[in-house]
Structure 1
Amino acid sequence: MIAYTMIGVSDLPWAIDFYKPLFAQMGMEICWQDDTCASFGIVDDESVPRFFIGYPFDGGAASVGNGTMTAFRLQSPEQVVALYKMALENGGRDVGEPGYRPQYGEGFYAAYVRDGDGNKLAFVVYP
């Protein structure tokens, strides 16, 4: 259903340095990049939705929507912890430490971070 997601950033080089190791940990790489944006995914598999980061096309400031979040589904709680720690080490901000969230369902394990522009990310595992 989803072809790609794009989030606005105010500093593309910083954002690439933040996101590149996170996506590498998830088995993805930069698929395309220019001076205004970059996409992550699997180069040889266009069925995998791409995740774009870039300057807003209207030339305005990057802004974050209240309640907007992108969640990345993983295979194990250990992956969630690793990505959470990596995000914080690369300048991300904690908005929810790794742990089980029974209110979302049995076995739901997640961690939440924000990037340098305030975009919210979730790393999740659920059956």
Structure 2
Amino acid sequence: MIGYTMVGTNDLQRAVKFYDPLMAEMGLDQCYRDHLSSSWGRKGDDTFPLFFVGHPFDGGPATVGNGVMTAFRFDDNAALVDRLYALAIKNGGGDEGEPGFRPQYGEGFYAAYVRDLDGNKLAFVCYDAKPAVEE
């Protein structure tokens, strides 16, 4: 259903330095880059949704919308959610909610929330995470 998502930046080089390691950890390729934007997805797969970061088309400054968020979903992989959250924070992202279960959204809903360097909100989620088994 989604072809691509784009978030704005006022500093593309800085944004790419933030997103490149996150996208690599997710197994995504950088598919496109010019002086205005960069995208990640699966090279050669035009059916896979792309994630773009770029300067606004109208030439104005990038602004953040209240209530706007991009969520990246993973199947049963809470450890990946943890790694992505830690990587985002390490690279200057802002904490919007540490990794953990969110039972109010459903059994097995595990998520972490961050802001990128321009203030765009991101979520890393899995819907069917299993609680760690204590020995």
TM-score, scaled to structure 2: 0.92
> 1:5-16, aligned counterparts within 5 Å?
5-16=5-16
1:36 Cα deviation (Å)? 0.6
Separation in structure 2 between the aligned mates of residue 73 and residue 48 of structure 1, nearest angstrom? 14
The aligned residue for residue 84 of structure 1 is: 85
RMSD: 0.7
Residue by residue over 1:27-77, the C-alpha shift from the partner in whole angstroms, topping out at 9 and shown as x without a partner, is 101100000101110112111100011001111110011000000001311
Q: In structure 2, the residue corresponding to 1:86 is in which secondary structure?
A: helix
Structure 2: give runs of 5+ residues left out of the alignment.
129-135
Q: In structure 1, the residue corresponding to 2:30 is in which secondary structure?
A: strand
Instruction: Give yes or no for the alignment of 1:67 onto 2:43.
Output: no
Q: In structure 2, the residue corresponding to 1:99 is in which secondary structure?
A: strand
Q: In structure 1, the residue corresponding to 2:98 is in which secondary structure?
A: strand
> 1:108-123, aligned counterparts within 5 Å?
108-123=109-124
> 1:90-109, aligned counterparts within 5 Å?
90-109=91-110
Higher CA-based Rg = 2
Separation in structure 2 between the aligned mates of residue 57 and residue 46 of structure 1, nearest angstrom? 22
The aligned residue for residue 132 of structure 2 is: none
Separation in structure 1 between the aligned mates of residue 4 and residue 22 of structure 2, nearest angstrom? 17
Residue by residue over 1:60-119, the C-alpha shift from the partner in whole angstroms, topping out at 9 and shown as x without a partner, is 110011000000001311000000000001110000000000000000000000001110
Structure 1: give runs of 5+ residues left out of the alignment.
none
Q: What letter corresponds to residue 109 of structure 2 in structure 1?
A: F
Separation in structure 2 between the aligned mates of residue 17 and residue 29 of structure 1, nearest angstrom? 14
Q: What letter corresponds to residue 34 of structure 1 in structure 2?
A: D
Separation in structure 1 between the aligned mates of residue 112 and residue 6 of structure 2, nearest angstrom? 21
Question: What percent of counterpart residues are identical?
Answer: 60
